[in-house]
Amino acid sequence: MPLTSEDLERLADHLLRQEFEDKRKNKSRKTEFPILSPSQMKRRMLMEIPYSNLSERQRLECRLKNLDYYSRESD
């Protein structure tokens, strides 16, 4: 007998309960694939600065720090 959508949702909630209950502010740094709650996502977005708002010097520093990432992307 196939599972209903409600059964699947309850199963997913049960499997992810530990992630949902994790309230640490640094969860995205400590977890490989963090699942952020809406309030955590909002807090994260408030702390981030859009790349377009950076000065040219800051943009250059960002590119230099991510040199490995950019070189892998072009391969």
Boundaries of every domain in the chain: 5-74
Indicate the pTM of the whole model: 0.42
| pLDDT recorded at residue 7 | 94
Structure tokens at 62: 């960002």
User: Which of 47, 46, 63, 44 is CA-nearest to residue 55?
Assistant: 63
In the structure, what pLDDT confidence band is assigned to residue 73 with cuts at 50, 70 and 90?
A: very low
Give pLDDT tens digits for 7-49.
999 999 898 888 778 777 777 777 777 777 788 788 878 888 7
